[in-house]
Structure 1
Amino acid sequence: MMADRWSTPEEPPVSAPDPDPAGPPAWFVQALAAAPAHREVAVDGTPVHYRVWGEPGRPGLVLVHGGAAHSGWWDHVAPQLHSHRVVALDLSGHGDSGRRASYDMATWAREVVAVAAAEDLDRPVVLGHSMGGWVSLVAGVEHPGAVSAVAVIDAPLVSRPPEEDRLRERRRPHRRYPTAEEALARFRTLPPQDVLLPHVREHVARGSLRREEDGWTWKFDPQLWGPPPLLAELLPQLTRPAALFRCEKGLVDRAMAAEMAALTAGGLPVVDLPDAGHHPMLDRPLALVTGIRTLLAFWPHGGPARG
């Protein structure tokens, strides 16, 4: 789940999820059948949960979810990236990872590096969506020896993650729902997307829930936000190869993408995802997979460092 303009569990009248009369397509069923291994590593005393796909010894790829989301957002994407050993983590305060007293991008970046080290990934590519793109950039700047290349998906050049505003307004304990179905009906993404694949929505929404004694609630910590990085200052410091996935109906328009490219020391190739909303894994997952595969083909063995 994301927040504000990105994605958050809203509180509209309860309505059932959109029907999927044809059922999930074969590629989706097959992807979920390739179940990941679930593991955990402690980072600064907090347990960080992560998922792993692919054969050991392959080039590494670390996937970083967006704000208030979780590693399960990649469940139908990661198994299709066959060329790599893929790790997707739950940042602290998200998913099945532990919570902290406070959060910041630098800590999350250390978590990215820690899960890569736990899986013995040699300088992996780090790919982050939305707020996770910011985390990925921080990892590339602050841990250049541990990261070979960085790619971001629709992470805008703004002063702070857009989802932060909405969640700051909602800094209170999550509501409890008597049934999972009622909670699932509350799951929304923002901004609205014309196409939201029902089978993908169902999967990521269920993975966003935790059952407690008094009902069902969302997994993410409502007290997530700390000091944001300044991307305008961060991008010029990046010494690793970098790329941007720009979603046609997302938050990064062509002018912003050009501005981000101009700020990036070694340039920033832009991969356009036609007709994709801010969350392409929810509405255009196969286009996203194709884009990631193509990018990784240009970054063999994780992509050599510049300089």
Structure 2
Amino acid sequence: MTEPATTPDAPAWFRQALAHRPEHRQVPVEGVPIAYRVWGDGGDAGAPGVVLVHGGTAHAGWWDHVAPQLGGHRELAVELSGHGDSGHRESYDSHQWAREVVAVAAREGFDRPVVIGHSMGGRVAVTIGVDLPETVSAIAVIDSALNDSPPDEERVRERRRPHRVYPTAAEATERFRTLPPQDVVLPYVRHHVARASLRKVEGGWTWKFDPRVFGNLLRLRDQLPQLTPPTVLFRCQHGMIGEAMGREMARLVPDGMPVVELPGAGHHPMLDQPLALVTALRTQLALWPPKVR
């Protein structure tokens, strides 16, 4: 477990959020240990639990400064297999990751929670809504694009190369980059998530995620028409979803899907516009659970 990392210039709200330390837990799911973090003491009566799912190559710590601010809910953040402190598998796919999220939520007694997924995690959330719709009350997808074209093979090969080992954690932290690249990242958030992305190995430090996690995702174009749980899409202004794609995605969902823009945000809003993201999520959570259809 990595201790919270802050920098002297971190604002009060960020330090206060990190002061709400989650419990770090682990449970085996289909033969692999799955790590996760839990905040809160049960939440308000009647409020659904909230399950947070990170994006590709990320980890549960990306939510450390977001989850404590959602208020009135019990929250947990899962580390999908191949990420963070969870175990690795021989291969990965969205169906497997969806079962992991549901298993962890069940282990913690979450009854039909709201699942919030960012990027690749949004695809996992949609897969839950298609494969296991009875296990969730609603879904929030954060900047998960349609991506109709298969990943560029050269790019996939580049990402799957073994990780470089850095002599110090400080040097590795300085090499932290987002996928896709993002121009604006708040330095104190970057420091926190980068430091928690590392593990100690012989000769120094390297990244925790398994390079083999890439290239096994389902197409949202095929999944959105099968969605039945209420779903909202948060589209980042400078992210991967343009206005036209957002409208197209909304049309693909049988009962429609609200599309909410996060102004000024890049693809990773918890890194550049975390308070705007918190406000949007808190507003949406106040409207859920929705009416039964």
Unaligned 5+ runs, structure 1: 1-19
Specify whether residues 88 and 240 from structure 1 end up closer, same or farther in structure 2 by C-alpha distance, changes over 3 A only.
same
Indicate if the aligned counterparts of 2:7 and 2:191 stay in contact, CA closer than 8 A: no
Partner SS for 1:55:
coil
Task: Measure, in 1, the Cα distance between the counterparts of 2:153 and 2:23.
Answer: 31
Structure 1 position 36 matched with structure 2 position 22: yes
Asked whether 1:97 is paired with 2:97, we answer: no
CA distance in 2, matches of 1:165, 1:156: 20
Question: May I ask how many residue pairs the two structures share in their alignment?
Answer: 285
1:60/1:124 contact within 8 Å kept:
yes
State the partner residue of 1:217. 206
Offset at residue 82 of structure 1 (A): 1.2
TM-score (norm 2): 0.92
Matched residues, percent identical? 64
CA distance in 1: counterparts of 2:236 and 2:195, whole angstroms: 25
- For residue 250 of structure 2, what is the aligned residue in structure 1? 261
Conserved 8 A contact 1:128-1:153: yes
Structure 1 segment 177-216 matched on structure 2, within 5 A: 177-216=166-205
- Alpha-carbon distance between aligned partners in 2 of 1:51 and 1:164, rounded to the nearest angstrom: 34
2:42 aligns with one of 50, 53, 56: 56
Q: Which amino acid aligns with 2:106?
A: A
Could you say if the C-alpha distance between residues 249 and 100 of structure 1 is closer, same or farther in structure 2, counting changes exceeding 3 Å? Answer: same
CA contact (8 A) 1:248 1:272 kept: yes
Residue 190 of structure 1 and its aligned partner are, at CA, apart by 4.0
Task: Identify the match of residue 13 of structure 2 among 16, 27, 34.
Answer: 27
Q: How does 1:150-169 map onto structure 2 within 5 Å?
A: 150-159=139-148, 166-169=155-158
One-letter amino acid of the counterpart of residue 28, structure 2: A
Shift of residue 161, structure 1, vs aligned partner: 8.1
Q: Is the 8 A contact 2:112 2:135 kept in 1?
A: yes
SS at match of 2:134: coil
Q: Residues 264 and 159 (structure 1 numbering): CA distance in 2 closer, same or farther, change over 3 Å?
A: same
Question: What CA distance in whole angstroms lies between the structure 2 residues aligned with 1:228 and 1:190?
Answer: 16
Given the superposition, is the C-alpha separation of residues 257 and 119 from structure 1 closer, same or farther in structure 2, using an over 3 Å criterion? Answer: same
Say which of 37, 58, 65 aligns to 1:76: 65
Bigger drift between 84-93 and 154-163 goes to 154-163
Q: Which amino acid aligns with 1:267?
A: G
Structure 2 residue aligned with 1:16:
none
Q: Deviations over 1:122-149 (max 9, x none)?
A: 1000000001000000011111111111
Instruction: Check 1:21–1:143 CA distance in 2 against 1; reply closer, same or farther (3 A cut).
Output: closer
Q: Distance in 2 between matches of 1:73 and 1:211?
A: 20
Contact 1:62 1:87 (8 Å CA) reproduced: yes
Matched letter for residue 24 of structure 2: H
Equivalents in 2 of 1:161, 1:206: separation in Å? Answer: 31
Structure 1 position 168, deviation (Å) = 3.0
The alpha-carbon deviation at position 41 of structure 1 amounts to 1.1
Contact conserved, 1:160 with 1:229, CA < 8 A, in 2?
A: no
Alpha-carbon separation, structure 2, partners of 1:44 and 1:195? 38
Equivalence for 2:3: none
Name which of 271, 275, 292 aligns with 1:282. Answer: 271
CA contact (8 A) 2:160 2:214 kept: no
Any conservation in 1 of the 2:234–2:259 contact (CA below 8 Å)? yes
Query: For 1:63, what is the secondary structure of its paired residue?
Result: strand
Q: Residue 102 of structure 1: SS of its match in structure 2? A: coil
| TM superposition shift of 1:56 | 1.9
**Which amino acid in structure 1 is aligned with residue 36 of structure 2?**
Y
Letter of the structure 1 residue corresponding to residue 260 of structure 2: V
